[in-house]
């Protein structure tokens, strides 16, 4: 059982999760109490049920370790009776994760509950989560049970779980499409049998915030007992976060959430959204707080995305790559003066990079000059005016403006040549399970060809070493990331390589259906950037400008 206690001194909860949350059920009008909002993460159970996700036990363990660093209260690690693999994963997590309590899901059958307990028994703290469907649709077409039979199952399943553990959660699946009278009968039975958490699943994402909030309020008022209320909201109408927050406002003190909002169909409420809404709008949630270490949010999101293969949409709240990016001129001008003009969250508090200015057709002069300055180009007066006009023309035709584009524009305005880069003319690689991999590259630059060969630890390593041999930059590899742009066996591999030399760090990107070729292209793009960056540091643009003032 997870024990927690209110320390009584400063309105903050120490660790006793379920006790403080239960007290909120009883003392909900006492605004002096700061309740702990229990964060129940179900990424490894409901999240893993998303189509196409299949994590192996090692990957689940890696995610569980990161969830522990993030500071969640519960990790729902799986559904032990569903397969030997799930049982093993839950057991491995129960044995090695310390900090969060570990939870296993179970149907009401006695043998399922026993199997669930078996997987959890070595955990420091654990919970059994018993569920059964209660809506007419599910009882008639799925369970083929009458309401009376379902009620008996609730009795049996919860009572059995209680024989094993003090900490028992009960969920009436499809609660939001269940008649309120039957729902309350079932919930009462679960509390009588010892359930300490009543979870209210909006299984098909049918809830609307005010309606869902009222249901939670009624449960609090009308079901007597010592328990806390939990929300479990799916996102079929895009309302999972809103419904969870409405639940919290009405007295729920646990939210069931997934990283990046993954889960069945349209997914579950996103952990990062619920947590940050409670943090940022503490005026609306004055009596609750979470124990989440928010600086770990972006890292956790990236890990889950990488291991599940589910990309995070660019405009995803909190963790999307555009969550702190600004393109419109007025916005860019605002955040360059003070980020609070268009940002309600300090990016660093969620582990993201702060205010990123993205140059595009909506960008203004301020952002344009700022980008040049970040590249080490200090141009003024007519040069800037002309270059800005050229930039706007280009932006109308091209979606993304790269550093190389900017440099070409400005160099043309001041009448100097842009350093020409290397071009990959050909790449040949060989390798396999026997012997070293080999690569031969032919590069061209300013009309002449350079050729080099190298061996390596795998074909990617050999290709990158051959490019290094041909270009002699002396750079060292500072980062390598490969991801798939599209699905399927012929997916485009997207490689980003970072190189470091003399305190200059650059990155290059390459895309191809062949990851070795994508890697070679990324390496060469980084080499070209490095050469330009080094030349720039020895070149003072401002002396070449017709300087008529800033």
Name the residues that contact ligand KIV, by CB under 6 A.
Answer: 46, 105, 131, 171, 173, 201, 203, 232, 234
Q: How far is the CB of 474 from ligand KIV (least distance, A)?
A: 55
Given ligand KIV, Zn ion, none, residue 173, with its beta carbon under 5 to 8 Å by kind, binds ligand KIV
Residue placing its CB nearer to ligand KIV in the complex, 99 or 201: 201
Count of residues near Zn ion by CB under 5 A: 1
Residues sharing a CB contact under 8 Å with residue 395, sequence separation 6 or more, in sequence order:
359, 360, 361, 363, 401
Single out the segment in contact with Zn ion by CB under 5 A; choices: 10-18, 38-46, 76-84, 509-517. 38-46
How many separate helices (H) and strands (E) can be counted in the chain?
A: 17, 18
Residue placing its CB nearer to ligand KIV in the complex, 204 or 401: 204
Residue placing its CB nearer to ligand KIV in the complex, 258 or 319: 258
Q: How far is the CB of 510 from ligand KIV (least distance, A)?
A: 41
- Which residue, judged by CB position, is nearest to ligand KIV in the bound state? 201
Start-to-end C-alpha separation, the chain: 66
The residue within the footprint of Zn ion, chosen from 41, 46, 59, 273 (CB under 5 A), is 46
Asked whether the beta carbons of 258 and 269 are under 8 A apart, the reply is yes
Residue placing its CB nearer to Zn ion in the complex, 198 or 518: 198
Task: Give the rounded distance of the alpha carbon of 174 from its chain centre.
Answer: 27
Q: In the numeric block, which tokens belong to residue 304?
A: 């889950």
Residue placing its CB nearer to ligand KIV in the complex, 171 or 243: 171
Sign of CA dihedral 210, 215, 218, 219: negative
Measured in residues, the chain has a length of: 550
Q: Is 169 in the site for Zn ion (CB under 5 A)?
A: no
Q: How far is 124 from 96, CA to CA, in rounded Å?
A: 9
Q: How far is the CB of 335 from ligand KIV (least distance, A)?
A: 39
For residue 150, count CB atoms less than 10 angstroms from its CB and return exposed for 0-12, middle for 13-18, buried for 19 or more: buried
Q: How far is 361 from 8, CA to CA, in rounded Å?
A: 56
Residue placing its CB nearer to Zn ion in the complex, 46 or 86: 46
Q: How far is the CB of 172 from ligand KIV (least distance, A)?
A: 9
Q: Given the DSSP bridges, would you call strands 423-430 and 356-357 parallel, antiparallel or unpaired?
A: unpaired
Given Zn ion, ligand KIV, none, residue 131, with its beta carbon under 5 to 8 Å by kind, binds ligand KIV
Residue placing its CB nearer to ligand KIV in the complex, 270 or 383: 270
Q: How far is the CB of 525 from ligand KIV (least distance, A)?
A: 44
Asked whether the beta carbons of 522 and 509 are under 8 A apart, the reply is yes
Q: How far is the CB of 46 from Zn ion (least distance, A)?
A: 4
- Which residue, judged by CB position, is nearest to Zn ion in the bound state? 46
Q: How far is the CB of 201 from Zn ion (least distance, A)?
A: 6
Q: Rounded to the nearest 5 degrees, what angle is found at the Cα of 44, between the Cα atoms of 40 and 47?
A: 90
Torsion of CA 520, 523, 528, 530, to 10 degrees: -170
Positions in the binding site for Zn ion (CB under 5 A): 46
């Amino acid at each position: 059982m997870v024990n927690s206690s209110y320390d009584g001194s400063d309105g903050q909860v120490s660790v006793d999760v379920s006790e403080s949350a239960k007290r909120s059920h009883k003392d909900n009008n006492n605004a002096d109490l700061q309740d702990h909002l229990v964060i129940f993460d179900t990424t490894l159970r409901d999240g893993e049920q998303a189509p196409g996700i299949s994590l192996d036990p090692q990957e689940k363990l890696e995610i569980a370790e990161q969830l522990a660093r993030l500071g969640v209260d519960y990790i729902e690690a799986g559904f032990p009776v569903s397969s030997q693999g799930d049982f093993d994963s839950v057991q491995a997590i129960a044995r090695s994760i310390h900090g969060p309590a570990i939870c296993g899901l179970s149907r009401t059958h006695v043998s399922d509950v026993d199997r669930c307990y078996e997987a959890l028994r070595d955990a420091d703290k654990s919970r059994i989560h018993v569920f059964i469907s209660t809506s007419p649709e599910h009882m008639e077409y799925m369970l083929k049970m009458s309401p009376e039979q379902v009620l008996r199952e609730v009795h049996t399943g919860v009572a059995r779980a209680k024989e094993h553990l003090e900490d028992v959660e009960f969920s009436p699946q499809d609660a939001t499409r269940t008649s309120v009278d039957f729902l309350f009968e079932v919930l009462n039975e679960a509390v009588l049998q010892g359930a300490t958490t009543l979870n209210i699943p909006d299984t098909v994402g049918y809830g609307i915030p005010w309606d869902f909030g009222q249901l939670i309020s009624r449960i609090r008022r009308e079901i007597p007992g010592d328990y806390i209320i939990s929300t479990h909201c799916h996102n079929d109408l895009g309302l999972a976060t809103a419904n969870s927050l409405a639940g919290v406002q009405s007295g729920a003190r646990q939210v069931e959430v997934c990283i990046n909002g993954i889960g069945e169909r349209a997914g579950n409420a996103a952990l990062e959204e619920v947590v940050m809404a409670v943090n940022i709008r503490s005026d609306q949630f004055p009596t609750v707080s979470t124990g989440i270490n928010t600086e770990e949010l972006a890292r956790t999101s990236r890990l889950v995305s990488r291991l599940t293969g589910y990309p995070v949409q660019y405009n995803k709240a909190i963790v999307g790559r555009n969550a702190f990016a600004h393109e419109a001129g007025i916005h860019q001008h605002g955040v360059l003066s003070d980020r609070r003009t268009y940002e309600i969250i300090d990016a660093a508090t969620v582990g993201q990079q702060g205010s990123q200015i993205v140059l595009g057709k909506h960008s203004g002069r301020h952002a344009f000059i700022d980008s040049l300055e970040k590249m080490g180009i200090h141009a003024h007066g007519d040069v800037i005016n002309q270059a800005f006009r050229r930039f706007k023309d280009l932006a109308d035709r091209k979606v993304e403006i790269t550093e190389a584009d900017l440099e070409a524009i400005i160099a043309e305005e001041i009448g100097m040549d842009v350093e020409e880069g290397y071009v990959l003319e050909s790449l040949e690689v060989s390798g396999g399970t026997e012997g070293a991999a080999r690569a031969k590259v032919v590069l061209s630059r300013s009309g002449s060809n350079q050729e080099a060969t190298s061996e390596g630890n795998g074909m990617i390593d050999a290709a990158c070493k051959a490019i290094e041999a041909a270009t002699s930059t002396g750079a060292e590899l500072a980062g390598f990331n490969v991801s798939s742009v599209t699905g399927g066996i012929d997916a485009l591999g997207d490689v980003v390589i970072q190189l470091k030399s003399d305190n200059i760090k650059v990155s290059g990107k390459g895309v191809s259906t062949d990851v070795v070729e994508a890697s070679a292209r990324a390496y060469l793009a980084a080499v070209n950037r490095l050469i330009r960056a080094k030349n720039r540091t020895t070149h003072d643009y401002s002396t070449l400008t017709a300087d008529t003032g800033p």
